[in-house]
Amino acid sequence: MQQSGNAYKVRLAFNQLEIPFTLVNVDILRGENRTPDFLRKNPEGRIPLLEMRGRGYLAESNAILCFIAEATALFPDGRWERAEVLRWMFFEQNSHETYLAQPRFWLSIRGGADLRRDHFDDWMERGYAALMSMERHLATAAWFAAGRYTIADIALFAHTHVAGEGGFDLATFPNVLAWLDRVKAQPRHIGIDWVAEPP
Amino acid sequence: MQQSGNAYKVRLAFNQLEIPFTLVNVDILRGENRTPDFLRKNPEGRIPLLEMRGRGYLAESNAILCFIAEATALFPDGRWERAEVLRWMFFEQNSHETYLAQPRFWLSIRGGADLRRDHFDDWMERGYAALMSMERHLATAAWFAAGRYTIADIALFAHTHVAGEGGFDLATFPNVLAWLDRVKAQPRHIGIDWVAEPP
């Protein structure tokens, strides 16, 4: 489900870290995440899901990011710096991702926004609050943690850069817009539409 | 705000790790998280917040857990085991905490549940789905990650053990109930009402 911001995070990190992987498409609009085979791998039926041969399956996009970025420049060694990375990654899952991803899913991916019309006001209010938190942080820092580009930036970039597809207007968030450009300028950056496997 | 499940997580881990700390109460019902002084420390105005002298402030309860449990038995060393711990901690923040904590806040802490009555059906549905994920996992495992008691269990315990205060009925989740008892039986466990500082 390559349009998923959560799946994109993992593709982006794999590519920037130049780690070979096999991409298996699971289309949730066709219910491919609800087959007995997929539910055996991840009983929650959610994507992305990492399969590590000899180890098993790992769910949760941000846990996958932490796992694959371990001991790389994207996930710092210092104890305090690591905590700062995780601080923003937990923020992303608790206060950001849900409210940006759901409007986009119903407006631009699945369609049928009227089905969840009663939720939109709440999602927009909380989504804008999350964007405001990011704007405030980025007023005095170029990156979210550790003074450099990390998996915290990847996690937050995934749903922020397509927030407009969920009806959000980023025009009043100049620091966020400048940070989006900095992320896009990182080596081996790929867009969310990129689905080819690395060589 | 000691009734907060997120604040309780941190007190519990500090106590079990026998790490001395100073507890500063911030009562969100009195707006103590909205004072200029507190907002200077955490612009999001959320608790818990860790102050480390010489380092600064760290928000997000699960990031605090990772920080203080580093290099202890509560946060395993192995790369895959750490990823499993984080997988359940991200699940807790994305799919669990919001839906269990908000009904409890409006029913049992703040009062005034009618103000958010339109949200209760959604919270209960998603909260029960999270409890079902836990029940399924605990059918074949005693703990959430790494085969032992970790900060993933602490994170999930905090809001699960008081789910009844939010209107959830755990009677049909026998594996969750047995796991709650196992957590309570861990050395130096403290209840959510425990607010004294360690010696």
* B119-143 pLDDT tens trace: 899 999 999 999 999 999 999 999 9
* A75-133 pLDDT tens trace: 999 999 999 999 999 999 999 999 999 999 999 998 888 888 888 999 999 999 999 99
Interface test mutation site (partner A, options B90, B121, B128, B140, max chain A beta carbons within 10 A): B90
Q: Cα B75 to the chain's mean position, in Å?
A: 16
Chain B interface includes A79 (CB < 8 A): yes
**Residues near B121 by beta carbon (within 8 Å), at least 6 away in sequence:** none
Q: Could you tell me where in chain A the CATH 1.20.1050.10 domains are found?
A: 79-184
Give the domain A5-69 fold. Answer: Glutaredoxin (3.40.30)
Interface test mutation site (partner A, options B61, B93, B118, B131, max chain A beta carbons within 10 A): B93
The reply to whether residue A94 touches residue B136, judged by beta carbons under 8 angstroms, is: no
Q: Cα A18 to the chain's mean position, in Å?
A: 18
Residue A136 with chain B: CB contacts under 8 Å? 43
Q: What local confidence, expressed as pLDDT, does residue B198 receive?
A: 47
Give the domain A79-184 fold. Answer: Glutathione S-transferase Yfyf (Class Pi); Chain A, domain 2 (1.20.1050)
Residue A95 with chain B: CB contacts under 8 Å? 44
Structural contact between residues B64 and B14, judged by C-beta atoms closer than 8 angstroms: no
Q: Could you tell me where in chain A the CATH 3.40.30.10 domains are found?
A: 5-69
* A170-180 pLDDT tens trace: 999 999 999 99
The reply to whether residue A87 touches residue B43, judged by beta carbons under 8 angstroms, is: no
- CA-to-CA separations, B102 to B45, B126, B187, in angstroms, rounded: 17, 12, 30
Report residue B199's pLDDT band, with 50, 70 and 90 as the boundaries: very low
Q: Which of residues 101-160 of B touch A (CB under 8 A)?
A: 118-119, 122, 133, 136-137
Chain B interface includes A91 (CB < 8 A): yes
Mean pLDDT of B100-115: 90
Q: How far is B166 from chain A (nearest CA, A)?
A: 19
- Report d(CA B62, CA B6) in Å as an integer: 8
Helix (H, G, I), strand (E, B) or coil at B146: coil
The reply to whether residue A93 touches residue B97, judged by beta carbons under 8 angstroms, is: no
Q: Residue A147 pLDDT more than 80?
A: yes
**β-strand partners of A92:** none
